[in-house]
Copies of this chain bind each other. A is one copy, B any other.
Amino acid sequence: MPDLTPAAWTCPLPLRDYPHVVMGHGGGGRLSADLVEHLFLPAFRNPALARLGDAAVLPPVPGRLAFTTDGFVVRPLFFPGGCVGDLAVHGTVNDLAVSGATPLYLSAGFILEEGLPLADLGRIVDRMAAAARAAGVAVVCGDTKVVDRGHGDGCYITTAGVGVVPDGVTLGVQQARPGDAVVLSGPVGNHGIAVLCVREGLEFETRVESDTAALTGLAAAVLAACPATRAMRDPTRGGLAATLNEIAAGSGVGIEIDEPAVPVDDEVRAACDLLGLDPLLVANEGKLVAVVPADAADHLLAAVRRHPLGTRAAVIGRVTDQHPRLVVARTAVGGRRVVSTPVGEQLPRIC
């Protein structure tokens, strides 16, 4: 985490008299205004935000609107490969991207716990701003509330995102058809295991890093290579298992995956073995699943592999009219097992 040293935080520190968040930072008065002026405005710098209206007023969006929201309560706030700030940008950007939309704008709602070091907030906001710039979106509106000590956990962030859906794009988990191929953009489980390792103090020879990343470019590459793509999803909470089950249930089809074809990093597999976790159920924050007509699969796979986030992409399975609404994995030893949606929470507070 070289970027998590205090020196990496470049935003000016507001109100050096207050090294920690105090209740007044959420009070709508001068302390709130200082936070906006000295932290949020310089970090997210854009004209819509700078007008400080009750709402950002933005140019007309030329096409159908995509709108989504996600809350982020990851513990700890900082982990190998990222922090709650990266997640809060990537998570919402990715929900737009896999819907076929071009992400445009984000809102950012902070719920801070009294006592959070302002330097930590600065680092989080700094990383959010960098992630937004990299993803090509502007954070145009925001809000900060402060809760008393013992009623939060440092920093919760809820972002919402607006994007534009190009004409002709109609993706949906209802559209998978028997015979379709299922393409996965890379190895699974890294985000969940990275957070778990730092939380539980586990160490492996090679440190597992979160895969948190914006899927904007990769999703666009998928749609360019295969305009007939049926559905895209990013397998976050609930992992690949939850995503495939959503597609199977949404389309009333079965999905058969070839388990050895699902890429999993050695350290992630080792951690999962040690902890008794199934990598198919562990959260990702920068992976994409696409369901495409079988005859487009090879072309699509080649296109995804050309993208930096898709070099280890694989065709991991296919859609079938057998066992509708069930996801079945063919295991390495030739057996078959049902891959269910997890009931609850394998790893709590992972995003």
Q: A: which residues have CB within 8 A of B?
A: 22-33, 51-73, 94-96, 98-99, 101, 105, 107-111, 140-148, 150-153, 156, 158, 160-163, 165, 171-174, 233-234, 236-238, 242, 246, 250, 283, 341-346, 348-349
Contacts known (A28-B242, A29-B345, A33-B341); A234 close to B99, Cβ less than 8 A: no
CA A242 – CA B59 in complex, angstroms? 29
Q: Are A344's CB and B22's CB within 8 A?
A: yes
A-side interface mostly: mixed
Q: Are A101's CB and B145's CB within 8 A?
A: no
How many copies make up the complex? 2
Q: Are B162's CB and A67's CB within 8 A?
A: yes
CA A234 – CA B206 in complex, angstroms? 54
**B contact residues around A58 at 8 Å (CB):** 64-67
Contacts known (A98-B54, A346-B27, A348-B148); A107 close to B67, Cβ less than 8 A: yes
Q: Are B69's CB and A108's CB within 8 A?
A: yes
**B contact residues around A144 at 8 Å (CB):** 71
**B contact residues around A107 at 8 Å (CB):** 67-69, 160
Q: Are B53's CB and A172's CB within 8 A?
A: yes
A54 (CB) vs chain B CBs: closest residue = B95
